[in-house]
Amino acid sequence: MTDDPPTAQKGVRAAFVLPFVVALCVGAAYANSFRGAFLLDDTIRISENVDVRTFRGAVTGSTRPLVDLTIYLQRISGRSTPADYHAFNLVVHVLAAMTLCGLVRRTLLRLPSGVFRESGAALPAALAAAVWALHPVQTESVTYVIQRAEAMMGLFYLWTLYGLARAHDSRHPALWQAAAVGGCLLGMWSKPVMVTAPLMAIVYDRAFLSGRFRAAWQGRRGFYAGLAATWLAPAVLLSLPHESSASAGPGAGLISPAGYLATQAGVLVRYLRLVFWPRGLCLDYAWPPAVDVAGVALPALAVTALLAGAVYLAWRRRPAGFGLLFFFVVLAPSSSVIPVADYAVEHRLYVPLAGIVAVVAPALWEGVRRVLPGGPVPRRTAATCAVGALAAVLGLATAARNETYASVARMARDILEQRPENFRARTMLINALMREQAFEEAAGEARELLRRTEAALAAPAPVHRTFAARPGHYHPVALNSLGRALLCLGRLDEARKPLRRAAVLYPGYPVGRVNLAVALYLAGRGEDALPHALAAVRSAPDYAGGHATAAFLLTRAERYAEGRERYEEALALAPGELAVRLELAWLLAAAPDDRVRDGRQALLLARSLVAATDARGAAALDAAAAAHAELRDFGAAARFARRALQFCRKASQPSAEGELSLELVPSTCEEIEARLAGYLEERPFRLRAH
């Protein structure tokens, strides 16, 4: 017996080449995804995730340790730009498409009708894989970086079934079975929804390999025991503290399991519509819970009928039945009774889509081939052109959808066009406009968010709202966003009004307190500002911004020792915050209090800043000069000051983050020149008393 079924020998060459053709097509469709920005959870799970900065942190405290491990490895390898993350995701997607191609080919060759043994299975299998991989609904799992969890799980899910199919025809079945079990375990470490893979493996075995459950179990008892053993992985991961405990499961304070199930009927209908008509894709639906009979009954009837039909056809070992059942079973963990914060997200379709496409695409190919007149070659060509044209249209739609991921503002506007009541998306847009320094437009969007949240608060509240549309959460965000935008516009009196409202209505909201402190300080009321900053620290001890603002104000009040403590606490909480590192370096190098200064520690911080900015940041070089001067190395201090002055004169360096930073020491060209003159006279720099 050979690794390939004897009836497939004629298509061996095509079976080898066509998956690579699919890979090239997928690469072309996703070529523009490399320009994609970090969106929503990308920032939380990648940029700001302290856990993935160490190996131990990456593999503990998460239900997706393999995903976090890939982020950690990209960090330590230096391949951690957004384009690098997109490249990794694309590789995973391409491998998944190639795996699906092989799986569909082997499945088609084993159909009882034998139709594809006659016409060849390699080409329709490749077309099915292309349709699946080029479908625009897949962009959320590929171009939205952190959803590599779905793509990685999908790759290992398909690999598990492919290993089973290969083991059935191989001279070395144990090797392929071991590979399948290993893939299943890796999938469990990628995302817990992999739990359905062992079940679908035995259903696949019955449908296409053994014919009966008993025969499947008796023929591969050890294999299925191995697959079942992989369930221990998610069981252990979910039993430990993890990142999803606040957004999934019965303990997360979400809608009841029954209410979630009722809502999912409409979501499943939406998913099915997107499979066949992928228009109106949305990254963040803010899908509302179903609350009336009309919103539950009709979708529930449709889903129940389809599920019953799937079970019946699967029991009769019909390919359509397996494909539809596969769709529902893979979605079951996130679309049944286990509440999840986001009721509808498109990345959940990544694997289920394969069940439908693997049936429809080959059926379409064979239908066109049979219906058209002419000889075998023209009919095969026409069938290939028909399905290929479908794949090409989907690929163009995917490329167009990828353009939406190019910037945060563009994606936010796309979401708001479809879901104007999505408060999370409007906040996302405001923050993007602030980073682009479009402060007037940001203020306008903040006013709109404020108007909508206050209208929602005044209306009779439903029992449940999705997180993205909870007015009680986003009302203080709106007040703070408006105040922050007005601050950046220099309209201090106007800015203090919404910020003070936020402080009064939401005293435990630390960001609003911090920005109110900034507004008061800029208005010359530093003594009134400090209590608000300290209140922010008390209400949110883990908020680095509160500690940093309090540290600045304490230093301005000449309470240098307390300021140092706060800066060190802020840096411990946010070690990647270069601004905090810079402020602490200045304080250690130039505090008037001899007990606070520490030239060596200041130099270490300044050197790390110089390295982080590739020796191109005038502020980092300026701080390094001050640290050298504190250590009485005035020659080095002068050299660093001259380099800082050189970069300062080349170009101004305004902040592009839309944040108002409170700087202990401004690094203007005039200030640097004055400090340089002092170093040449062997005088260290000291902060001015205020």
Q: Alpha carbon of 310 to those of 160, 240, 266, 323, 337: distances in Å?
A: 22, 36, 18, 8, 20
Q: Provide the whole-model pTM.
A: 0.85
Cβ neighbors of 395 (< 8 A, separation 6 or more) are 25, 28, 29, 130, 134
Residue 340: strand pairing partners: 248
Contact 519, 492 (CB under 8 A): yes
402-430 average pLDDT score:
95
In eight-state DSSP terms, residue 37 is P
Averaged pLDDT for residues 329-337: 91
Angle of CA points 9, 362, 89, to nearest 5° = 90
Check pLDDT > 60 for residue 658.
no
Q: Report pLDDT for 459.
A: 85
Q: Place 391 in a pLDDT band, splitting at 50, 70 and 90.
A: very high
Question: Residue 639's pLDDT is what?
Answer: 93
For residue 199, tell me if it sits in a domain: yes
Residues 592 and 567 in one domain: no
Give the domain-ending residue among 385, 404, 423. 404
DSSP state of 207: I
Domain of 632 in residue numbering reads as: 588-690
- The verdict on 324 and 379 lying in the same domain is yes
Q: What is the average pLDDT across 24-51? A: 86
Statement to judge: residues 380 and 527 lie in one domain: no
If you search the block for the tokens 């889903």, which residue do you land on? 303
Tell whether 511 and 639 lie within a shared domain: no
Cα angle value 520/522/525 (rounded, 5°): 45
How far apart CA 71 and CA 56 sit, in angstroms, is: 13
Section 6-19 average pLDDT = 66
Q: How far apart are CA 154 and CA 137, in angstroms?
A: 14
Average pLDDT over residues 588-605: 93
Backbone CA torsion sign across 637, 643, 646, 651: negative
The reply to whether 551 and 627 lie within a common domain is no
- Phi/psi of residue 365, each to 5°? -60, -50
HEC string for 368-391: HHHHCCCCHHHHHHHHHHHHHHHH
Kindly tell me the burial class for residue 71, based on how many C-beta atoms sit within 10 Å of its own C-beta (0-12, 13-18, 19 or more): buried
Using 50, 70 and 90 to split pLDDT, how confident is the model at 254?
low
In a domain, 580, yes or no: no
What confidence score (pLDDT) does residue 347 get?
A: 95
Report how many helices (DSSP H) and strands (DSSP E) the chain contains, helices first. 33, 0
State whether 58 and 185 are in the same domain.
Answer: yes
Residue 532 and residue 607 in one domain: no
**Based on the domain organization, do 103 and 39 belong to the same domain?**
yes
CB contact set of 343 (below 8 Å; sequence gap of 6+):
260, 263, 264, 267, 285, 287, 288, 289, 466
Q: What is the pLDDT of residues 613-642, one digit of tens each?
A: 765 678 889 999 999 999 999 999 999 999
| pLDDT (0 to 100) of residue 452 | 95
Residues 270 and 340 in one domain: yes
User: Is pLDDT above 50 for 7?
Assistant: no
pLDDT at 250 over 60: no
**What are the two backbone dihedrals, phi and then psi, of residue 340, each rounded to the nearest 5 degrees?**
-130, 145
**Mean pLDDT of the chain, nearest integer:** 88
If asked whether residues 373 and 522 sit together in one domain, one would say no
Share of the chain above pLDDT 90, in %: 63
CATH assignment at residue 550: 1.25.40.10
Q: Is residue 26 part of a domain?
A: yes
Name the DSSP letter for residue 63.
S
Q: Is it the case that residue 292 has pLDDT exceeding 50?
A: yes
Residue type, 347: H
Residue type (1 letter), 484: R
- Specify the 3-state DSSP secondary structure of 340: strand
pLDDT tens-digit profile of 188-234? 999 999 999 999 999 999 999 999 999 999 989 999 999 999 999 99
Q: What percent of the chain stands above pLDDT 70?
A: 92
Q: Is residue 123 assigned to a domain?
A: yes
Last residue within a domain, chosen from 404, 423, 443: 404
Indicate the pLDDT class of residue 660, thresholds 50, 70 and 90: low
In a domain, 451, yes or no: no
pLDDT confidence of residue 25: 95
DSSP string, 238-261: HHS--TTTTTBSGGGS-S-HHHHH
Residues 530 and 599 in one domain: no
Q: Which two tokens stand for residue 391?
A: 């794949």
Q: Are residues 347 and 397 in the same domain?
A: yes
Give the integer Cα–Cα distance in Å for 255 and 233: 27
Asked if residue 280 is part of any domain, the answer here is yes
Spatial distance between the Cα atoms of 403 and 237, rounded to a whole number of angstroms? 36
Is the pLDDT reported for residue 1 higher than 50?
A: no
pLDDT bin (cut points 50, 70, 90) of residue 46 is: confident
Other beta carbons within 10 Å of 668: 13
Q: Which among 622, 563, 624 is positioned nearest to 599, based on CA atoms?
A: 624
pLDDT at 442: 96
pLDDT digits (tens, 9 = 90+) for 99-124: 999 999 999 998 887 778 766 788 99
Q: Annotate 255-312 with DSSP letters as a single string.
A: S-HHHHHHHHHHHHHHHHHHHH---S--S---PPPP-SHHHHHHHHHHHHHHHHHHHH
How high is the pLDDT of residue 186?
97
Give the pLDDT score at 242. 57
Q: pLDDT tier at 251 (50, 70, 90 boundaries)?
A: very low
Q: What pLDDT does 653 receive?
A: 44
- In order of 98, 126, 132, 254, 319, the CA distances from 363 in angstroms are 20, 13, 14, 42, 10
Number of compact structural domains in the chain: 3
**Is residue 456 assigned to a domain?**
no
Question: Looking at this protein, which amino acid is placed at residue 21?
Answer: V
Segment 539-593, tens digit of pLDDT = 999 999 999 999 999 999 999 999 999 999 999 988 878 889 999 999 999 999 9
Q: How far is 619 from 602, CA to CA, in rounded Å?
A: 14
Asked if residue 457 is part of any domain, the answer here is no
Alpha carbons 17 and 309: distance in angstroms, whole number: 37
Which of 346, 371, 404 lies at the terminal end of a domain, its last residue? 404
CB atoms within 10 A of CB 175: 13
